[in-house]
Amino acid sequence: MSRTYHIVTFGCQMNERDSETIAGMLEEMGYEYCPDFKAADVCVLNTCSVREHADKRFFGVLGQLKNPHEQDPGRIVCVCGCMMQQQVHIDTLKAKYPWVDIVFGTHNIADFPRMFRNAAEEHQKITEVWKDAGPIAEGLPAKREYPFKAFVSIMQGCNNFCTYCIVPYTRGRERSRAPEAVLAEIEGLAASGCREIMLLGQNVNSYAGVCGEDGCDRFGIAPGQKVTFPQLLRRIDCIDGIERVRFMTSHPKDLSDDLVQCFADLKHLCKQIHLPVQAGSDRVLKEMNRHYDSAHYLELIRKLRAACPEIAISTDIIVGFPGETEEDFQATVDLVEKVRYDSAFTFIYSVRKGTPAEKMPDQVPEEIKHQRFDRLLEVIHRIQEEKSAEYQDAVLPVLVEGFSKTDPNVLTGRTESNKTVDFTVRAPEGAEAGCNSAAACAEALIGQIIPVKIVKAQTFSLYGEAELQ
Ligand code: SF4
């Protein structure tokens, strides 16, 4: 009987991409995916330390693995990811969860197969966490969720040290992949039928991949010179078969005019950007160590909309940063009204141990943070509803991702602006659909980009209809 694995991933797309690598390694070692994390022979928990909520969820899930592990000590439980880069969490695991078999960090994922074999064959308990990041490992396997869209990591780590953020301490300093390695990965994906890629990095705008000994012919760049993010995007835009390119995340201080121009010039770059603002108050932005003010941010929005009037803009906002006054909060609301985001991820500030903001005076009382959060959401949702209404009756190209989780007769996909659309499909009257059943017709659309007419545009969701051609 085949052995099985399950990976529970907390946090961001970088973690999701790491989990794809770990899944690829386990499959190369002969393990098969199991949908039930408590029943799998191997369970990997890939942790996130960006917000308190993810920490708590992790310990909740880990606790549920204790009984299955006691009943079958042959089961292997692995814990990895950002939390494991902090000694305090390793100490907690050792004290309270000594039955965990393997603990490793964000920097030594490439070594997972060796650690795994030692745990599986020699029954060793292993804790190996590298304090510092080495060069980015290339050529690792990956088990991707979809054949038609993929994450491609172009850099790792962050140099920005925003005062509320733990990432530079858990993921290390910025390292960019070699440009030729990025292109080779995307060309391989295109050759296997992938249509959409999402380029990943904590701050993709500061990508600076170094050309190897032979230089980067395709960029016309000499050995040892660096390729910028806009240069990389322009080259990716020429790869046959890739129809949509997205990227995440951008830091406003590094968003260059050259990158803005890419939205006007590039055929396959989606008209969509996620540009975290975090706060509208210049005083709070300074305390956050963000290196821009609200005027600079608004100027970037103006430039983006001048280059690409249809661009959809989303953001991240933190409410209740230490010392945030009512006036500071109102500045955030004012900025949201000016930008009119298509969507926004809002977070209530939570203390992260080991960050400078942890020690800042004037932590905002929970009650006030929640009140402000609710007020901000009201504004964001009103604008979102107004913007969503603009899609009513529009016909939009949608990359079909699969069947809706709540209705097997409905397909779901994403627009270029990254909005989810649930839609039904019908054959034109009197026409032969050319496939055996409605379900088979719908199934054949998965992975394709097709026109969908929006018949109901709601605040958070779009509903549409598509006709079989
Ligand atoms: S840019 Fe700031 S918020 Fe983003 S990962 Fe780096 S330190 Fe964290």
* Rounded-to-integer distance, Cα 245 and Cα 270, Å: 6
Ligand 1 centroid–CA 320 distance in Å is: 18
**Does the beta carbon of 202 lie inside 6 Å of ligand 1?**
yes
List pLDDT tens digits, range 30-64. 999 999 999 999 999 999 988 877 888 999 999 99
Specify the DSSP class assigned to residue 390: T
Query: For residue 388, which amino acid is it?
Result: S
The average pLDDT across 324-338 equals 98
**Phi, psi of 217, rounded to the nearest 5 degrees:** -55, -45
Ligand 1 centroid–CA 167 distance in Å is: 6
Neighbours of 88 (CB within 10 A): 10
Ligand 1 centroid–CA 314 distance in Å is: 16
* Reported pTM: 0.93
**Does the beta carbon of 161 lie inside 6 Å of ligand 1?**
yes
Residues of the chain with CATH 2.40.50: 395-467
Q: Which of 101, 38, 41, 83 shows the shortest CA–CA distance to 65? A: 38
* Rounded-to-integer distance, Cα 211 and Cα 226, Å: 6
Going from the C-alpha of 238 to that of each of 54, 182, 276, 364, the distances in angstroms are 39, 14, 28, 49
* Rounded-to-integer distance, Cα 365 and Cα 283, Å: 19
Residues of the chain with CATH 3.40.50.12160: 4-128
> Rounded to 10 degrees, what is the CA torsion of 11, 13, 18, 23?
90
List pLDDT tens digits, range 193-233. 999 999 999 999 999 999 988 778 888 888 999 999 999 99
**Does the beta carbon of 251 lie inside 6 Å of ligand 1?**
yes
- In 3-state terms, what secondary structure has residue 311? coil
Atom of ligand 1 nearest to the CA of 168: 7
Output the pLDDT for position 440.
Answer: 77
**Does the beta carbon of 162 lie inside 6 Å of ligand 1?**
yes
395-467: which CATH architecture?
Answer: Beta Barrel (2.40)
Ligand 1 centroid–CA 291 distance in Å is: 12
* Rounded-to-integer distance, Cα 416 and Cα 134, Å: 36
Atom 1 of ligand 1: nearest residue by CA position: 160
Going from the C-alpha of 317 to that of each of 296, 314, 348, the distances in angstroms are 16, 10, 9
Residues of the chain with CATH 3.30.750.210: 144-270
Ligand 1 centroid–CA 203 distance in Å is: 7
The topology (CATH level 3) of 144-270 is: Transcription Regulator spoIIAA (3.30.750)
The topology (CATH level 3) of 4-128 is: Rossmann fold (3.40.50)
